[in-house]
Structure 1
Amino acid sequence: MLGQEETLELIKMAQSGDEQAKERLITENSPLIKSVIRWFRGKGIENDDLYQLGCLGFVKAINNFDCGFNVKFSTYVVPMVVGEIKRFMRDDGAIKVSRAMKGLNLKINRFVDAFFVQNGRKATVSEIANHFKLEEQEVVLAMDSAKMPVSLYTPFDDGEEEGLTLVDRFDGQESEDFVDKFALRDIIDKLEERDKKIILLRYFYDKTQSEIAQKLGVSQVQVSRLENKILDTLRKKMES
């Protein structure tokens, strides 16, 4: 298994057009790809086709990964592979998520909420994996397969801005085009404490700008300006 430094070096080489570096990354990460696609077996797609779809998602991850982000490549890869398979299945027919996967997703969401209350921050993928004694990629897959958190991807209407989601604010790109919520969360974790609190309250806990303003002791107008500034920062980091 490749170390982090060697992986990043190979990614840079592959992004520069080195096909051998790309092939080595695929070969070395074949177990990871196979561990993801096994969740989709029995869904009407041949194993070889599943693996090819997984490799396609993996290559997209290589091409789009930003080595400057403090995000583990494996954490970035899993949603990209899942997304590629989901897109194929969506075009080919309905996607069915197992009861076990839905149940795990529910347990994870409850743990994340409890963790935030106790620690004042979102739990990392590693912390979730340790709690449930799972591999990190299994956590990522469970959270992705059973739909994104409602507060991130469903419209809200608080009387201030109608029908918008956090994803909608990123220049109208489709949610599928983003890294995934995990990379986004990693970026949010690196925000200044006030900015992080605004985003978490606004989009993860469905608070209105007025409610946030009251908590912070500022005006709703100030919260609105800060929110737009923070979202612009997040958008640039996700696109870079």
Structure 2
Amino acid sequence: MNLPRFPLLSDKEIKSLLRRVKDGDEEAREVLVNCNLKLVFSLVQRFNNRGHELEDLFQIGTIGLIKAIDKFDLSYNVKFSTYAVPLIIGEIRRFLRDDNPVKVSRSLKETVHRVHKAREELTASLGREPSIQEVTEYTGLTGEEIVTAMEAAQTPTSIFETVYQDDGDPIYVMDAIAGETEESSGWFDKIALKDVMQRLPDREKSVLLLRFFEDKTQSQVAAIMNISQVQVSRIERQALKNIRIMLDEQDNG
């Protein structure tokens, strides 16, 4: 994609334009959109190889940017980009979820929407991603309901998704699976994994969802869950160990 070149704005310039937007200045709104298109594009690239053209996802992400501009409250003690990122990503994820071949119930979709909205609002007010406990208190939902909603919002990964590519041929997910050790290669055929995930304790399930479905680092997970990185590492190892045990039990049962 060839984006038009627009200058980077300082925080002071952005706030000045946002004030003008609040007064109904459409020209200021257009400047804010144009000067933040690079931010949208950088976020859209995270969703490459999801079965949609990047140009289409870019348009969806731009809608999220416009919503961020219209909804931003100047009383928020956060940078505009900090507020805009989760709204842009949320808009793209909603599009992918609604277009997802894996259908979920209407009530679960409503819960997913409620959780996403709460996370966006808390991110804006806190200046960081909220912990699951904070979302629980904000929404009145249980931790299990929130984790289930987060899981339902994930888009399935294609086995033909590119994992790595340099000057040679790309490496796909299926190549990585095929190249695993004998001990772990059978996991590809274990469709029971989702059922096993549901049986994990809430904390273990939350860590795995954040780490492997939302691509968070251990440090980011620690901040979201209000625990130490050492605890995250320990919980992650225990969760993976529990999954292996339960899958082995199913094979031998």
Do both proteins adopt the same fold according to a TM-score greater than 0.5, normalized to the shorter chain?
no
TM-score bracket for the superposition, by shorter chain length: 0.3 to 0.5
